[in-house]
Copies of this chain bind each other. A is one copy, B any other.
């Protein structure tokens, strides 16, 4: 009956539980590895103002048919050479634990790919990196020492740069079911290209080569590194910030709030402290745990905070979103909206939504959903995503949509921290604030669809009348021509003119159908 207790390193934990990070079988693992590498490459480029060029290559291993060699190269800022081993060889390590919108966030994905490669093929990862501000290029062969969660560098070579290239190249050999994964991988690359129209992506696979050339050289404003937003900060965040303050016995609560929180100046901080009953001159060290709990709780509920500024975020914008939707679905109607910034638990977020009708959208029993998060397409686990939950809860007949109908909803959540349900980054959790914003956005575009469908109904009505009139027009004009003794052709032309005039009053012009 005596039980043995022990601890696991994070690498051991994820080696044992790799399904959690999306590495559940050879097909899914290959897809996930591609994703993690491509997303790191996009983060290393556009987040730093560089127009991305990403080169993805998948080839089958010559000797072992169940093995796949995956290579991804980018023109990003590179990785400081001293950091390369930890970035690839230590779970929960990275540069993205800051308040800024990036695709990567967990410090886990690429390590999972390394873990999966070494456990299935026993091959180390090859990394070549040329940091943008360095005169050196480094090459590494490394794997993860799982029980200690540290990188083990098998080979390393540092050279002076001979050409001006900067960026990172990663090569992995892993067990992967290419045949089963290829459709998803191509979908993923295609949708990534559409949501990042300023990127050039070259994709070579056993099926051939695809090149998605950038259609725009206009890079969205890169996100800045920001501070926590005060609404929703919890006790532990406060404790951590105070612990990291050097001279806590001299710093006042007022100074603390101004220094650490987004959109909090002296005036706003004073206003809050008065409202919450704290003295602005209280020193940090005078605050007890119970005080911190009250402070956090007051910070959550204070109605006066400014909305977070979107500097840390990089949304697409309604126009780009519409362009993307049009190019994928070629709909007869599209509407899009970008909501103002909001926040949950100190993280700013912006929700965007689009709705599309007709065109190449097949009529379906449910509303079709395309999901994006921080410009990443989400292809798996739709059934548990907050967007699906909202769409399924909506009575679509309110919006004149009678299912089955050719309707697609596109959602895009940008945040300094997307509340993913799993570390595989496939579904967004139903955090109340995010759910609320998404519902507003979806209902907003749905209302515009209703307006369009109403106009279409009227147009249809008018068309129906036109058909009826035309049916009897020949007879009527003959009769009239006989009565007034004129040429029937002439009468016909007059009636035709009259009809056109009347119809024009009720016509819906095609250029009205796309609005934002």
| CB neighbours of A360 from chain B (8 A) | none
Assess the B236–A146 pair: CB atoms within 8 A. Answer: yes
> Any chain B CB within 8 A of the CB of A9?
yes
From residue 446 to 468 of chain A, which have CB atoms closer than 8 A to chain B?
none
**Within 8 Å CB of A93, what residues of B?**
5-8
Whether A19 contacts B420 in the complex (CB less than 8 A), given A120-B234, A236-B118, comes out as yes
Contact A19 B431 (CB under 8 A): yes
Nearest chain B CB to A52 CB, angstrom units: 15
Candidates B8, B120, B422; contact of A421 at CB < 8 Å? B422
With an 8 A cutoff between CB atoms, is A358 at the interface?
no
A403 at the interface (CB under 8 A from B): no
A245 at the interface (CB under 8 A from B): no
A1–B132 contact, CB under 8 A?
yes
Contacts of A388 in B (CB 8 A): 383
For the complex of A and B, list the 10 residue pairs with the smallest distance between their C-beta atoms, beginning with the closest: A383-B383, A122-B293, A3-B95, A24-B429, A19-B429, A119-B234, A119-B236, A8-B92, A7-B93, A422-B422
Q: A9-B92, A133-B2 are in contact. Are A122 and B240 (CB under 8 A)?
A: no
The answer to whether the Cβ of A506 comes within 8 Å of any Cβ in the partner chain is no
Q: Flag A140-152 by CB within 8 Å of B: 1 or 0 each.
A: 0000001100000
Fill in one digit per residue for A222-266: 1 if any B CB lies within 8 Å of its CB, else 0: 000000000000111100100100000000000000000000000
Chain A, 1-40, contact with B by CB distance < 8 Å: what is the 0/1 string?
1111111111011011101100011000000000000000
Q: Is there an interface contact between A430 and B24, defined as CB atoms closer than 8 Å?
A: yes
Contact (A423, B235) CB under 8 Å given A1-B77, A77-B1, A92-B9: no
Would A122 and B290 count as touching, CB distance under 8 A?
yes
- Asked if A90 and B20 make an inter-chain contact with CB atoms under 8 angstroms apart, the answer reads no
Copies in the complex: 2
CB atoms of A19 and B90 under 8 A apart:
no
Stretch at the interface among A79-87, A155-163, A199-207, A268-276: A79-87
Q: Kindly provide the distance from the CB of A123 to the nearest chain B CB, expressed in whole angstroms.
A: 8
Measured CA separation A19–B381 after assembly (Å): 15
State in angstroms the CA–CA spacing of A512 and B315 once bound together: 63
Closest Cβ–Cβ distance, residue A435 to chain B (whole Å): 9
Instruction: Scan A278-290; emit 1 where CB is below 8 A from any B CB, else 0.
Output: 0000000000011
- Residue of B87, B115, B421 near A20 (CB, 8 A) is B421
25 contacts between A and B (CB under 8 A): A4-B95, A7-B92, A10-B92, A12-B92, A13-B92, A17-B420, A17-B423, A19-B419, A19-B420, A19-B431, A20-B423, A24-B419, A24-B430, A115-B236, A118-B235, A119-B237, A121-B293, A122-B235, A122-B289, A147-B240, A380-B384, A381-B421, A384-B384, A421-B422, A421-B424
Binding site for B on A (CB under 8 A): 1-10, 12-13, 15-17, 19-20, 24-25, 48, 77, 80, 83, 86-87, 90, 92-95, 97-98, 106-107, 115, 118-122, 132-133, 146-147, 234-237, 240, 243, 289-290, 292-293, 296, 380-384, 388, 417, 419-424, 427, 429-432
For A97, give its contact among B6, B86, B122, B132 (CB under 8 Å): B6
* Nearest-Cβ distance from residue A28 to partner chain B, whole angstroms: 8
Distance from A6 Cβ to chain B, minimum over Cβ atoms (Å): 6
Nearest-CB distance from A356 to chain B (Å)? 23
Q: Which residues of B contact A94 (CB under 8 A)?
A: 5-6
Structural contact, B24 and A431, CB atoms closer than 8 A: yes
B residues less than 8 Å from A427 (CB atoms): 384
* A9 neighbours in B (Cβ, 8 Å): 92
Q: How far is the CA of A122 from the CA of B6 in the complex (A)?
A: 27
Contact of A83 with B5 at beta-carbon distance under 8 Å, contacts A16-B417, A422-B422 already known: yes
